Amino acid sequence: MCSIFGQINFSDSLCDSKKFINASDTLRHRGPDSKNYLSDEVNYQFAFNRLAIIDLNRTGSQPMYSQCKRYVCIFNGEIYNYQKIYEEIKDLFKWEGSSDTEVLINAWSLWGEKTLDKIDGMFAFAVWDTVNKDVILARDRIGEKPLYYGWQGSGINRTFLFGSELKALKKHPQFTDEIDRGALALYMRYCYVPTPHSIYKEIKKL
């Protein structure tokens, strides 16, 4: 399964890393094999819980940089056609392992968002661009892999959060925990909260 959890803050004020990792640990049931953390200590911090399926070695660990070091990726899921994409780009990179994540992030360094037109699979991932200082979130077309996101906090302390499950976002110290009354009304009508809403205010499902 795996889990991804991230914070992007453009006011240079990330929460304490221990609190962030503690929030990510609420998702350990999704990835019991290993966990990792990465941050530039200014704009972003990412945490990952891994269920190792493809490339069982540490070369498949995340978060993962592209070979050019411009892009950072955390990825939950599986790219079914990653070997086909690998054959297309294999001569352009020096490969560390054999994971679909490494193929994805290096392909992204070549094609950017057009990579989404090439991949087939079940996935939810984030790519941070260290040059342009922006983040792209993506989810498979059917929505098999969950991904929640939104702004939390107030004033200059507003921060952007995303993750595989709401429980990680709720554990973040800047989460406001305010119920979205519109989403609650939808739940009472349909017995579930339809996309793009979530039960919490300002948090959406991609």
Catalytic sites, residue numbers: 2
Beta carbons of 23 and 166 less than 8 angstroms apart: no
Span between the terminal Cα atoms of the chain, in Å: 18
Burial class (CB in 10 A: 0-12, 13-18, 19+), 38: middle
Give start and end residues of each alpha helix (H) in the chain. 17-24, 82-89, 100-111, 166-171, 181-190
Nearest to 55 by CA among 22, 71, 79: 79
